[in-house]
Chain A
Amino acid sequence: MNVGEVSAWAAENLKDQGVVVARDYKFMCSSLGQELIQKDIKEQGLTRVVVAACSPHLHEATFRNACSRAGVNPYLFEMTNIREQDSWVTTDKEEATKKAKALVAAAVGRVAYQKPLESLLVPIDPNVLVVGGGIAGIQASLEIANSGQHVYLVEREPSIGGHMAQFDKTFPTLDCSACILTPKMFDVGNHKNITMLTWSEVEKVEGYIGNFTVTIRKRARDIDEELCTGCGVCWEKCPKKVLDNVFEAGMGNRKAVYVPFPQAVPKYPVIDRENCTYYLKGTCKACEKFCPTGAIKFNQEDQILTVKVGNIILATGYDLFDSHRITQYGYGRLANVFTSLEFERMSNSAGPTGGKIVQRDGKTAPKVVGIVHCTGSRDKNYHEYCSAICCMQSLKFAHLVKEKTGAEVYEFYIDMRTPAKTYEEFYHRLLEEGTHFVRGKVAEISDAVRLPGEEGKLIIQVEDTLTGNQLRVPVDMAILSAGLESRHDAKIVARKFGISCSADSWFIERHPKLDPVATMTDGVFVAGACQGPKDIPNSVAQGAAAAARVLSIIGQGEIEIEAATAIVDEVTCVGCKQCIASCPYQAIQYLEDKGKAYVQEALCKGCGTCVGTCLPKSISLKHFTDEQIVAEMIGAMKVMKSFELMEVA
């Protein structure tokens, strides 16, 4: 578009709307640009400012501050979006210029009706809520707690640790996952500034940045945490074996009273009421009988806790893609098809097979293993995105299989993606270790014998896209490198915390490049895989980043909140209470004595739903009044109509 033309046009045609000066400057958001505005305000005695530039979501705050510095109330500034919503989306240059004129006229029309507002300053509660005790949440909690602020760490499972606690080795260093994780878990458990709430879930979040009130349900463990020493007698004596579908990924058993794994933090077990014989049949209580400290407390009740925090970090992690969904891969039907998480547990020396890699029969070591990349990822039928960790994870599996069993290993990949420090080198190491790499997406895994040598094997059918050949590779074990997907309840959690989700239900960050851990809701941050698939180093980095963001807010001591709240005109209010019913925040009260509605400013979030509801038009929303919106609309309409007339003429 021709910006110069727009500014010249505004200076000429919007004079009667109050435009004194119109300028065209390429980098208005730069300090020079801002100084230009400040200079004009002072020299020409401007009382209102309009900037036509990028989206107000990027620079409205910048220009509001600039106005403020020059003595103009920030609410007397208006920004119109002629980049994201005009020049970048319009093919025809002349049309874009015309649209910009209409948008500028709209903003000028509106700004005349804008009124100065004072934003409310509220103190920041220095306590922080971290939701999710995986590696991202652990890192965030430790950073904040080490700085001296208090953290409430809420974890849904009986122990913190998350997925990382389940893994055997981490790529590409082949560090033992538990060895590097458990010291951090221990630090969390023993930190004087961390209140750890495991087996707990957030029920409700109210308030706003600096002043959240969070309701947490601490589920009954049926254990007295004061008395329990974590000695383990209860789960030794418990007669009820339960298939552990969570921590052991269905590969092993646990008891009905259990800690998920030996290094669990906290050390207290949980009684699984769905499987406990006492809860099912009314007798047993073996754990209670043998507990040396009398810590077993059947029929404990859930506790509802309310905590006040100023900021929230969500680190709720991911779910593994359910490999059952790809029926042609046979998972669940063909015994020797394993998922990546099953393999992790099997390879883990603390896992159900004691670290032995064996077929489903529990004893036969595989001679040939096929690893199937992109199970559920990069596939329009399941998830279009790349799960980011599967290539490296598969390479790690290949190495472990080779090291532990000497088996021949095939990797079936679409593209090899190893884009991080020392990842590519790991790939090269695997190439040298003699792993076979077949470039192609696996079509099917079956046990249907067609050729000699396939008896008793799984046959992986794939097109080698480098040679163009159809291959049938007989293997003893297939490992599906399952992708990551958002938590099954991510949408519910997002709603609870007032943030948004992408189409794939990953939490949306404020800006994908420049604000990767903040969200659109002030005071709510995200870290780790809940924001999108990522590996451990990136999750740790985000955990620390979110902590830094939170600490910088706490450091400010107080924060401005939105001044655009609703207000009732008592003269015209008829007391119909429609607004009260419409308010999502219960911010409107009915004053019995006056028979009028009243808006509690600190609770009002400024959505304006009450305004849209009020028939006698007695409620208005500051900064979004009817006259401001109408003036904006008329401004745009006038210009559009004038162009139309010119065309007719």
Chain B
Amino acid sequence: MMHEPKIIGFLCNWCSYRGADSAGMARLKYPPNIKIIRVPCSGRISPELVLRTFREGADAVMVLGCHIGDCHYSTGNHRTAKRMPVLKKLLEYTGIESERLYINWVSAAEGEKFATVIKDFTEKISALPPFVETMK
């Protein structure tokens, strides 16, 4: 059954948030499900923040940052690249589909990529049952 998923996106201020702005400037359309929260760097996102977001009933969490090597803070996103895959594995282990946590790199210039990523991901998540139901 398809449903309207609730998605929270943590986007770094310098690349991905601007990538989202670029998508807007180019008037590229994507589903409204994602609500974006701006953080300085994807490295700011602790596993706990992701879990808190699931606890509030989010169907999926996206963490988007600068491409490796392009981080505004030089190596902040290296932490994301190491931390988040581990968290994905742990989610799977606890019975939460790991695809509910999505990590990718979107640069400020990649408005098109941003829109595509959001479109595809929203579609994928709406095919999953709502998160709260899987937790029952």
**A interface list, Cβ under 8 A from B:** 55-57, 81, 83-86, 88-92, 95-96, 98-99, 102-103, 106, 491, 494-495, 498, 500-503, 508, 520-521, 564, 582, 584-585, 605-609, 611-614, 617, 621, 624, 626, 629-630, 632-634, 636-637, 640-641, 644, 647
Contact = CB atoms under 8 A, between A and B. Distances in A.
B15 to A, nearest CB: 7
B24 A96 contact: no
Contacts of A606: 40
Interface in B44-100: 44-46, 48-49, 52-53, 56-58, 66, 69-76, 79-80, 83
A86 B18 CA distance: 14
B8 A637 contact: yes
A89 B27 contact: yes
A90 B118 CA distance: 12
Nearest to B39: A624
Contact of B25 (A88, A585, A626, A632): A88
Nearest to B83: A612
Contacts of B70: 494-495, 500-501
B46 A632 contact: no
A508 B108 CA distance: 9
Contacts of A508: 108-109
B21 A55 contact: yes
Interface in B18-36: 18, 20-21, 23-25, 27-30, 32, 35-36
Contact of B108 (A89, A91, A520): A520
Contacts of B21: 55, 57, 81, 84-85
Q: Most chain-B Cβ atoms within 10 A of its Cβ — which of A57, A86, A98, A607?
A: A607
B4 interface: yes
Q: Most chain-B Cβ atoms within 10 A of its Cβ — which of A85, A498, A503, A520?
A: A85
Contact of B43 (A85, A609, A626, A647): A609
B6 A637 contact: yes
B107 interface: yes
B101 interface: no
A629 B13 CA distance: 14
Nearest to B41: A607
8 contacts: A89-B28, A89-B29, A495-B70, A500-B70, A621-B44, A624-B40, A624-B44, A641-B57
A202 B53 CA distance: 44
Contacts of B14: 500, 520
A641 B70 CA distance: 36
Q: Most chain-A Cβ atoms within 10 A of its Cβ — which of B15, B38, B53, B71?
A: B38
Nearest to B37: A632
Contacts of B32: 86, 89-90, 92, 95-96, 98-99
B8 to A, nearest CB: 6
Contacts of B53: 633, 637
A292 B110 CA distance: 59
A633 B57 contact: no
A608 B6 contact: no
Contact of A584 (B15, B38, B45, B74): B74
B115 A85 contact: no
Nearest to A90: B32
Nearest to B71: A584
A629 B37 contact: yes
Contact of B79 (A56, A90, A491, A613): A613
A621 B8 CA distance: 20
Given A495-B70, A637-B57, A644-B4, A106 B37 contact: yes
Interface of B: 4, 6, 8, 14-15, 17-18, 20-21, 23-25, 27-30, 32, 35-41, 43-46, 48-49, 52-53, 56-58, 66, 69-76, 79-80, 83, 107-110, 115
B36 A607 contact: no
Contact of A90 (B15, B29, B37, B73): B29
B79 A84 contact: no
Contacts of B83: 612
Contact of B8 (A81, A612, A636): A636
B37 A633 contact: yes
User: Which 5 residue pairs are nearest across A and B when measured between Cβ atoms?
Assistant: A84-B24, A608-B44, A609-B43, A607-B73, A607-B41
Contacts of B71: 584
B36 to A, nearest CB: 6
A162 B82 CA distance: 42
B63 to A, nearest CB: 10
B8 A500 contact: no
Contact of A609 (B8, B17, B73, B109): B73
Nearest to B132: A641
Contacts of B28: 89
A345 to B, nearest CB: 35
Nearest to B52: A630
B38 to A, nearest CB: 7
Given A84-B25, A612-B44, A629-B39, A491 B6 contact: no
Given A503-B109, A629-B39, A630-B52, A91 B29 contact: yes
A383 to B, nearest CB: 15
Contacts of A611: 44, 46
Given A84-B25, A609-B79, A612-B45, A56 B38 contact: yes
B117 to A, nearest CB: 13
Given A90-B32, A520-B14, A607-B40, A641 B8 contact: no
Contacts of A609: 41, 43-44, 73, 75-76, 79
B8 A584 contact: no
B44 to A, nearest CB: 3
A502 B109 CA distance: 6
A522 B40 CA distance: 15
B6 A582 contact: no
Contacts of B75: 584, 609
A608 B30 CA distance: 29
A640 B6 contact: yes
A600 B102 CA distance: 33
B35 A640 contact: yes
Contacts of A617: 48
A15 B106 CA distance: 37
Given A498-B74, A508-B108, A608 B29 contact: no
Given A89-B29, A90-B32, A637 B41 contact: no
B35 A102 contact: yes
A575 to B, nearest CB: 19
A5 to B, nearest CB: 15
A612 B35 contact: no
Contact of B20 (A84, A98, A494, A632): A84
A106 B35 contact: yes
B109 A85 contact: no
Contacts of B36: 81, 85
Nearest to A494: B70
Contacts of B52: 630, 633
A89 B30 contact: yes
